[in-house]
Structure 1
Amino acid sequence: MTELQIGILGFVALFGLMVMRTPVAFSMLMVGFFGTWIVEGLRRAGALMLTESYSAVANYSLIVVPMFILLGNISSEAGFSRGLYDAAHAWVGRFRGGLATASVLGCAAFSAVSGSSVATAVTIGKVALPEMKRLGYGDGLSTGSIAAGGTLGFLIPPSTGFVIYAILTEESIGRLFMAGILPGALMMLLFIAAIWIVTLRDPAQGPKGHAVPLAERFTLLFRALPLLIVIVVSIGGIYTGIFTPVEASGVGAALTVLLAFGTRAMSLSGFKRAVMDTVRTSAMLYMIVIGANVLNPFLALTNIPDALGHALEALGIGRYGTLIVILLSYVVLGMFLDGLAMLVITVPIYYPVIVALGFDPIWFGVIAVIVIEMGMITPPVGLNVFVVKNVARSVPLATVFQGVTPFLIAMIVCILLIILFPDIALIIPNSMFN
């Protein structure tokens, strides 16, 4: 049996383990360890397990993950996320579809501190869905806007997806964070446009709300100021070069803790819950990184990336044809795998192909993250859809999937625009780092 055949069998085993609901991290660990054992022997496999596990968790850049997760959890416990939604609601709620628009704006703002798609959908969904139900919004639009808006947490910095992509490819976390700003803003605007089109076709889906007096609007905006300050300081600090991403994550988390206790918005028990949630989520992400670090050398040994590159080249469909094939494979995988699983499994294989084709790896990181976001709201897995369904228990699952359809179209438009105009993703990082 050739090394390539062993690699293909390893992939079959990997997907088989995940189908049997083995955690992604342990699936990768098992395939990477036993695959290396078969190819190079037990001694090499054991050494790989030890060295790669240590090097993965000793990576200084990975500190970004728990710090930004803590920032998001503290914000949620302190109710700062509610302040973001209330402020957005006050300013745009009087328009048709205004509450759905406020939900997208709230998701975008909370994404800038959480870095998690699921956390964003849950946090804003708990606040926004009851309000939209009370005002008679259509179930499809209300749940669809939350499920889609939550995906912004995987794109708008500090994105967990960008951190994992940077570690897997050894690209700059700072460049990736900056590359996500304009695409994130574009995606948000396209989601708002989708809401406007839905309510234009069927006004009953998003009735107008009551106008809020100007003084009250500014009062609510002032209440949201603590979290807005954290966003400006942490993300703005990276942009201006005052902080590295790691430093910005620590400063942001510390500021949030001080604001939460300083304003008496959070109790000690709430702080403990936020810390424990951070530990659990961070441990899961660290295990995924360890699993990827053990799996990747096995993939290199079996020459799977080279074989894939030669196979795509043999198709004779050119650079952009190859890119489309890769993106379509993400769409298919998104029907069965969650976003992080797709990222850690596919990036080590596709990254060498993308670089060989002459595409900018930072630009591809943005494209890949958006396509992976699509997988979060497409059937049958659609993780964000199930999260929103758990919040809106009375809404049928089919209705939620139907509700996200306009937003999926908006995401496709966003991808096409970034492919046609790469500077949407590259202008900020290139202006900063070149």
Structure 2
Amino acid sequence: MEPTTIGLLGIAFLFLLMIFRTPVAFAMLLSGFFGMWALEGFRTAGALILTESYASVASETLIVVPMFVLLGNIASAAGFSRGLYDAAFAWVGHFRGGLASASVLGCAAFSAVSGSSVATAVTIGKVALPEMRRLGYGDALATGSVAAGGTLGFLIPPSTGFVLYAILTEQSIGRLFMAGILPGILLMALFMATVWLVALRDPASAPAGPNVPMAQRFRILGRAAPLLVVMVLTIGGIYVGAFTPVEASGIGAALVIILALLGRRLAWAGFCDAMLDTLKTTAMLYMIVIGANVLNPFFAVTQIPATLGEGLQSLGLGPYGTLIVIILAYVVMGMFMDGLSMLVISIPIVYPVILALGFDPIWFGVVAVIVIEMGMITPPVGLNVFVVRGVAVDVPLATVFRGVAPFLAAMILGLILIILVPQIALLIPNSMFG
């Protein structure tokens, strides 16, 4: 049997396992192992699992995953996330739709310490949704703003999406983190503009909140200052070259723990829960990395990426036409798969094509992450939609999907701008690294 045929059968087997709800890490592991067994024999397949299981997680660059996850979990357990939301509400809550804008701002700020879309949506949702409902916000706008704002956790550094992309493509984590800053700010601004437009069209769904006196605004901002300082030190420290992403993750986690203990905001039970959540998330991500590193050699041997590249180039669509085809494929996958699954399965296949077309790999990392973010609020899967629905249990799922529709349009606009003006993503990493 031809290697390409075995490769296609391996991909079919992979998706079959996922249909039967096999965790994506083990689906990749099994597909890669049995595929390599069919191509190279049992000894090679067994050696592949043994070597890759160790080599995949032995790199010190992966330390950023547990450290930044721990940072976000401690910040949430200590109530720092509430301070971020309160500060955003104090400054923009008095505008019509201001509470929804504050939710977006809170999501963006918490994204800078969590690196997780789901964690961001849950954390800010638990704080923001009761307040918006109390003030009479429409369910669609309230849930839509939190679900969409939560997607920023996958883009604004530190992002687990960028970490996995860097590992899969051997790109710099620091450059990817820096590349996510301006696109993250752009999407945040577009989301806030979307809130304003929705409020303009339907004022009853987005009432204005109370006007907080200026002196009180600064006092509330001061209560959020500890976490803001950690954000500036970690991300700013990477930018100025004071320390590497690995060092930044350790420093950030240590600072948040110290601040929580000094402020007596972290009970022992809360600390244990944060550590347990960190262990669970880290184990899941490490297994995904192992699975991806077993599956990738199988793809390489089958020549699937090269065959795909030749097929796309034979269509004569040109670089940007081919890019649009890849993006549309991501959109379709996003309707049925979660973001991490999309990333680890697709990147080994499309990345060689992107390089052959002459696109910057750092820029494409941003594009891929944004498209994956779109999948987090796209039916029928829409992971963030289901997460927010879990917080607002009495809101119909259809209402949440209706609420995220305008924000999805804003994400598409942001994606188009980044494609047309690549410097939005590349300005900071190019100025920093040369």
TM-score w.r.t. the length of structure 2 is 1.00
| Cα displacement string for residues 281-330 of structure 1 (whole angstroms, at most 9, x for unaligned residues) | 00000000000000000000100000100110111110000000000000
2:252 paired residue number: 252
Structure 1 alignment gaps of length 5 or more: none
Q: One-letter code of the match for 1:186? A: L
Partner of 1:419 in structure 2? 419
Distance 2:65 2:261 in 1: 22
Q: Which residue of 2 aligns with 1:276?
A: 276
Mapped partners of 2:202, 2:133: distance in 1: 16
Q: Pairwise mapping of residues 331-410 of structure 1 onto structure 2 (< 5 A)?
A: 331-410=331-410
Q: For residues 218-246 of structure 1, what are the alpha-carbon distances to aligned partners after superposition, in whole Å with 9 as ceiling and x for unaligned? A: 11100000100100000000000001000
Q: Which amino acid aligns with 1:78?
A: A
**SS state of the match for residue 157, structure 2?**
coil
Please name the residue that 1:263 is paired with: 263
Q: Which amino acid aligns with 2:26?
A: F
In the alignment, residue 308 of structure 1 is paired with which amino acid?
A: L
Are 2:108 and 1:108 aligned? yes
Q: What's 1:195 paired with?
A: 195
Residue matched to 1:133: 133
**What residue in structure 1 maps to residue 119 of structure 2?**
119
Q: Who is 1:214 aligned against? A: 214
Deviation digits for residues 177-215 of structure 1, max 9, x if unmatched? 000000000000000011011010110110011101112
What pairs up with 1:12-51 in 2 under 5 angstroms? 12-51=12-51
Q: CA deviation at 1:269?
A: 1.3
**Distance in 2 between residues matched to 1:231 and 1:28, nearest whole Å:** 35
Counterpart residue number, 2:95: 95
Find the residue that maps to 1:216 and give its secondary structure.
helix
Alignment partner of 2:145: what SS?
helix
Instruction: List per-residue Cα deviations over 1:232-284 (Å, max 9, x = no partner).
Output: 00000000000100000000000000000011111111111101100000000
Gaps of 5+ in 2: none
Instruction: Give the TM-score taking structure 1 as reference length.
Output: 1.00
Provide the C-alpha distance between the structure 2 equivalents of 1:214 and 1:194, rounded to a whole number of angstroms.
26
Which residue in the other structure is 1:182 paired with? Answer: 182
- Does residue 158 in structure 1 map to residue 161 in structure 2? no
Mapped to 2, the partners of 1:415 and 1:282 lie a distance apart of: 29
Counterpart of 1:230 in structure 2 is 230
Q: 1:305 maps to what in 2?
A: 305
- 2:318 is matched with 318
Counterpart position of 1:69: 69
SS at match of 1:22: coil
Q: Which amino acid in 2 is paired with 1:271? A: F
The alignment of Structure 1 onto Structure 2 pairs a total of residues equal to 434
Question: How big is each residue's C-alpha offset from its partner over 1:20-76, in whole Å with a ceiling of 9 and x where there is no partner?
Answer: 000000000000000000000000000000011101110110000000000000000
CA distance in structure 2 between the partners assigned to 1:195 and 1:348 by the alignment: 37
**Alignment partners' CA distance in 2, 1:394 and 1:90:** 28
Quick one: distance in 2 between partners of 1:335 and 1:193?
26
**Over the residues paired in the alignment, what is the CA RMSD in angstroms?**
0.4
d(CA) in 1 for partners of 2:318, 2:421: 19
Distance in 1 (alpha carbons) for counterparts of 2:159 and 2:373: 12
SS in 1 for 2:62: helix
Q: Distance in 1 between matches of 2:243 and 2:184?
A: 21
